[in-house]
Structures are given as C-alpha cells and as structure tokens.
C-alpha cells in the first residue's frame, strides 16, 4: 500500500475512529474502549486503543468506521489517486471506508486465499451486503446477498436470503447444507 503507516495510524488515533488495519501476519482493531471480546481475541487480531505502537509495515488494508460528516476524512484525499477507496453505510448509519492498494479488492483477496490454500473458488460460498462485496461474488462459486444488501450486491448474488436481523446467515446455511 502506498499510504504511510505512521500517517494512517496517527489519523485513526486523532480522529478516534474505530478502525481495523491489516498487515501480513495480523490485524489491529482500534477502538476508544476495548470490546468484551478483546480478552479472547485470536493471536492474529490485536485489539488496541491507539495505533502509535502498532507495527503497520507493510500495511495491506484499512477499514475505518467514521461519522458520515467527519472533518478528518478530508485528510485521506491525498491518497485518492494511489489507493482504491470503497464505502458503505453501517447499520448504525456510520460510514465504512475501506482502503486498499490499487487493483486490490475482495475478489483479488479471495483468489489469493484460494491459491494459497489450494481451494477451488467454485467451492467457495461468499456472503455480503454491499457493492464492495461484488468482486468477491464474481470469484466465489456461490454468492449470497443478505436481504438488507445494496441493489448492486443483490444483482451480483446467486442467492438472496433474509436480512441479517432476520436470520439471513442461518437461512443461507440451511439452504446450502
């Protein structure tokens, strides 16, 4: 990724964003207060209240949850020509902004994961709810859109199930298995 690790870590801390920053061996999950699951987090997921001491090189991806009208978001414009930005809206109405290197998306990540694990992409079930999931849907053998998904995600899916709140994941599992 072309973005300086110290910049994005500092920006997430200054803006007090809930954020997940991914490097090859782990992901750092930043929040102002550690969630209850933090005590039982797997080794690869490091919950933190600040990113100043995190080893963010090389930075692979960034997922930020920010209020839609956040003044700190303008600082990210410096990288718009060098990174891929994808956005969605959370159930709570917050902006979910994902940043990756150019030409990297959930589809290329799924292809790389399948190659690394020897799994045929035709055997993969992908579940999503927004436009950022469409490239992953195009790679997976079965693409499941939640009932609350965006129109783009529903159009790209091979199956649409109930919303998350109405047990859509359980419905998908029951229908598939």
Q: What would the mean pLDDT of 84-92 be, rounded to a whole number?
A: 80
DSSP string, 24-39: TTEEEEE-SS--GGGG
Provide the H-helix boundaries in the chain: 5-15, 106-117, 134-139, 151-156, 168-176
Domains present along the chain, CATH in parentheses? 5-101 (3.30.1240.10), 106-176 (3.40.50.1000)
Q: What is the value of pTM for the model shown?
A: 0.73
Q: Could you tell me which of 9, 15, 5, 20 has the C-alpha nearest to residue 51?
A: 9
- Give the pLDDT score at 87: 84
Say which range, 61-75, 79-93, 102-116, 153-167, has the weakest mean pLDDT: 79-93
Q: How far apart are CA 131 and CA 151, in angstroms?
A: 8
């Amino acid at each position: 990724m072309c973005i300086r690790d110290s910049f994005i870590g500092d920006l997430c801390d200054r803006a007090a964003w809930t954020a997940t920053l991914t490097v090859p061996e782990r992901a750092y999950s930043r929040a102002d207060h550690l969630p209850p699951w933090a005590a039982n987090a797997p080794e690869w997921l490091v919950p933190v209240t600040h990113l100043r001491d995190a080893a963010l090189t090389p930075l692979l991806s960034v997922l930020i949850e920010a209020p839609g009208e956040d003044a700190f978001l303008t600082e990210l414009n410096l990288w718009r020509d060098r990174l891929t930005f994808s956005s969605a809206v959370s159930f709570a109405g917050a902006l979910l902004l994902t940043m990756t290197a150019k030409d990297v998306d959930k589809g290329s990540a799924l292809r790389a994961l399948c190659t690394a694990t020897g799994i045929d992409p035709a055997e993969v079930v992908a579940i999503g709810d927004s436009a950022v999931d469409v490239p992953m849907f195009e790679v997976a053998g079965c693409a499941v859109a939640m009932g609350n998904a965006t129109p783009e995600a529903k159009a790209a899916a091979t199956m649409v199930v109930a919303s998350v709140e109405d047990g859509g994941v359980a419905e998908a599992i029951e229908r598939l298995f």
